[in-house]
Structure 1
Amino acid sequence: MTKITIEEFLQQDYSPQTVKSYMFAINHFLKLNRKAKRYKYKNIVEYMEEISQQQPNAKYRVVILSAIKKYYDYLVMSGYRADHPCKKLNIKVNSNQAVQVQDLFSSEELQLLLNRENRYENLDTRNSVLLSLLIYQGLTSDEIIRLNVKDIDLDSGTVYIKSSANLNNRRLQLLAKQILLFSKYISEVRPRMLRSSTDKLIITKLGKPIAVNSIHAMIEPLKPLFPDKSLNPKTIRMSVICNWLNEKELPLEQVQELAGHKWPGTTEKYFKADSQQQRELINRYFPL
C-alpha cells in the first residue's frame, strides 16, 4: 500500500493556509534536527527552549510546537514510531485572553436543553437533532445551516463539517442515540416537513432551509432554565469545548480538531486555571 506524504496527511484535516504554515515549521525543524525521527521528549523541550530565546511571541511558538506534534502524529500513523514523544507538551499563552469558563455550562446543564418538548412531533424531532449537534458536536449556527443531508453518514455514524473562513473542515462521530434520532428525522420527519426542493438537513416548520436567526429563536424559550447565564448557540459551543478540555480531559490537539480551530492557541483559552496547572511543566520554559 502506498503511504501518503506528511503534506497529504495534513491536508486531510486542515485548510491550505494552515498546511502551508505547518509544513514550513516542520521543514525548518527537520533541517535543524537531522535525527528528529528518533527524538525523545527532552530533545523537543531543548529545541523549543531555543525557539523561545529567538521568538518571544508565545502564539508563534504554539504554532511551531503544534506543527512538530503533527509531524510525530504522522510518524506514528505511518508506523515509523510506536510512541509520540511530545503529545503532552504544551505552551502557556497569555492567561488574560482566557475564556471566562465560570460563565459557561457543564455537560449536565447542557443535557437539560434536550428535555423540552414541543407540541408538534415533527418540530420536536427536528429540534432534538439541532440541539444535539450543538451540545454533542459543538457546531456553530453557521455550520448547522450549511449541513446537507448527504453530510450525515448513518452507516459510519458521522457528520461531515465543511470548512469556513474561520474553522477547519472535520468529520465528527455521532453518539449512538443520535444515529437513531437522525435516522428517524431524515427518513420520516424531514420528508413530511419538506415543502420545496432543498438538500439542507435542517428545515423550518414551513419546509424551507433554516436560518441562523431561527436557531437563536429556538433557543430563546430555553433561557429561563439559566436566568443568571447567557444562553445562546455561541455559549453552548464554548461550553462544549470547555467541557472537552476540562471535564473529559481530552488532549489539546484532539479538542482543536474537534472544534475545527485553525490554531491551538484558540483552544488553549478554554483551559480552567486548575486544569492548566496540572498540564506539563513545560510552561516554566516559556515565561511571559
Structure 2
Amino acid sequence: MTKLSLEMYLNQNLSTKTAESYIYTINHFLKTNPKAKRFKFQDIVSYMEQVSSKQSNIQYRVRILSAIKRYYDYLVMAGLRNDHPCKKLNIKNKQNPSIQVQDLFSSEELQLLLTRENRYQYLDSRNSVLLSLLIYQGLTSEELTELKIKDIDLDAGTIYIKASTNQNRRTLELLNRQMIVFSKYLNEVRPELLRCNTDKLLLSKLGKPISVDGIHAIIEPSKPLFPDRNLNPRTIRMSVICNWLNEKKIPLEKVQELAGHKWPGTTEKYFKVDSLQQRELINRFFPL
C-alpha cells in the first residue's frame, strides 16, 4: 500500500476537504499504531477508549472513528484484508440520541406517495417533481423552497443544493425516472403555472413560489396511508437518510455528503442497532 493509493481512494469517494481531513487522521492513527493493519475489533475499541480519555468532544471522536473505518474500507477494497474490524462500531451520544427508526418509512412505503393523483394536471406534474426530490434526494422543505431553475442541470442529470445555516451545499444526481418528469415540468407545466416574475423552481397553484406550509399541504392528503405514524416532509427526509444507511448500505461518509450534514455524528444517529452486545460495548467505552 502506498500513501498515494490511499489518497486516490479517499479522493474518489469523498469531497476534497473530507479526504484531506481523513488522510491526516489516518496517518496519525498508523504512526501511533504500527500494527494497525492487523487490528481486530477490540484493538480499535481500546484505541478509541484512549481517544475518549483525551478528548470529550463527541464530534471529534466520531470523525476519528469515521476516518479509521474508511482506512479499513480501503484495505478490504485493495484485497489486503478479508474482513472489516470496525464496520459496525458506532459512538453513542446520550445528548444526541439515535433516531427512532421504527417510526420511519421504508423505500417501498415512500414510493406510495407518488401514486396519489391530483385532479389538476399541472399540479400532478409539480407534485411529482416535489415528491421525487423528497423521497429520492431527501431534501428539506426549506431547501425545496429555495431551489431555482438554474439549479437543475438536465444535461448532467444533477441538482445543486446551496448551503444553509444547518446544511452543507451539495450536488446530487437525479435518477433516470426523474429526468422526463423534470423536463415536462420545466418546459411545459411551469410556464403555464407561472403568475409572477420569479426564478424559483417550485410554484404554488396560484403561480407564486411555493412555501414550506404549501409543501406540508401537499403531503397532508397522503397521511391516511400511514394512520399510526407521523408523515411530514421532515420524517420523509429522515426515512430517506435511514434507508440510505440501512437498506442500501451506503457508507456513512457518503450519506453525510448526500444529506448535507455538517457532522458525521448527525448522520450516525440513523444507524439501526443490530446487537445488544454492541450497545453495551459502546456505552462501556464511550461514556459522556
Fold match, TM over 0.5?
yes
Which residues of 2 match residues 146-225 of structure 1 at below 5 A? 146-225=146-225
Contact 1:162 1:168 in 2 (8 A): yes
Residue number in structure 2 paired with 1:229: 229
Summarize deviations over 1:184-205 as a string: whole Å, max 9, x none: 1111111111122211110112
Letter in 2 for 1:40: K
Q: Call closer, same or farther: CA 1:32–1:260 in 2, change over 3 Å.
A: closer
Match of 1:93 in 2: 92
* TM-score, reference length from structure 1: 0.77
What's the counterpart of residue 62 of structure 1? 62
Deviations along 1:142-177, one digit per CA (max 9) or x if unpaired, are 011111111111112111111111111111111111
2:256 corresponding residue in structure 1 = 256
The question of whether the paired residues in 1 share the 8 Å contact of 2:92 and 2:286 is answered with: no
CA contact (8 A) 2:160 2:170 kept: yes
Q: 1:252–1:267: 8 Å Cα contact kept in structure 2?
A: yes
CA distance change for structure 1 residues 149 and 283 in 2, over 3 Å: closer, same or farther? same
Give the match's secondary structure for 1:40.
Answer: helix
Give the conservation status (yes or no) of the 8 Å contact 1:13–1:169.
no
Deviation at 1:224, TM superposition (A): 1.3
Higher mean alpha-carbon deviation, 190-199 vs 233-242, is at: 190-199
Contact 1:93 1:265 in 2 (8 A): no
In 2, Cα distance between equivalents of 1:227 and 1:54: 48
String of CA shifts for 1:56-109, please: whole Å, max 9, x gaps: 454431023335667999x99xxxx95899894743213671111111111111
Question: Is the counterpart of residue 40 in structure 1 residue 37 in structure 2?
Answer: yes
* Alpha-carbon distance, 1:181 to partner: 0.5
* Aligned equivalent of 2:246: 246
> Given the two structures, how large is their TM-score scaled by the length of structure 2?
0.77
User: Deviation string for 1:230-286 (max 9, x for gaps)?
Assistant: 111001111111111111122111111111111111111111222x7798xx95994
Check whether the contact 2:140–2:237 (CA below 8 A) recurs between aligned residues: yes
Distance 2:167 2:148 in 1: 18
Deviations along 1:21-74, whole A, 9 cap, x unmatched?
x9778657646855999963639937545323323454431023335667999x
39-48 or 256-265: which moved more? 39-48
- The answer as to whether partners of 1:149 and 1:200 remain within 8 angstroms in 2 is yes
Q: Which residue of the partner structure matches residue 4 of structure 2?
A: none
Q: Aligned partners of 2:22 and 2:57: how far apart in 1?
A: 15
Give the Cα–Cα distance (whole angstroms) in 1 for the partners of residues 33 and 129 of structure 2.
46
Q: Give ranges in structure 2 of 5+ residues lacking alignment.
A: 1-6
Tell me the residue number matched to 1:136. Answer: 136
Instruction: Assess if the C-alpha contact under 8 Å between 1:103 and 1:229 holds in 2.
Output: yes
In structure 2, the partner of 1:116 is: 116
Aligned-partner SS, 2:39: helix
2:140 & 2:34 partners in 1: Cα distance? 38
Question: Does structure 1 retain, via aligned residues, the 8 Å contact 2:194–2:207?
Answer: yes
CA distance in 2, matches of 1:32, 1:263: 20
Query: In structure 2, do the counterparts of structure 1 residues 180 and 28 end up closer, same or farther at CA, with 3 Å as the change threshold?
Result: closer
Deviations 1:103-154 (A, max 9, x none): 1111111111111111111100000100010011110000111111111111
RMSD of aligned alpha carbons: 3.7
Q: Give 3-state SS (helix, strand or coil) of 1:178's partner.
A: helix
Q: Distance in 2 between matches of 1:72 and 1:195?
A: 55
Q: 1:31 to 1:158 in 2, by over 3 A?
A: same
Answer whether contact 1:161 1:170 (CA < 8 A) is retained.
yes
Q: Distance in 2 between matches of 1:92 and 1:66?
A: 10
Q: How many residues align?
A: 270
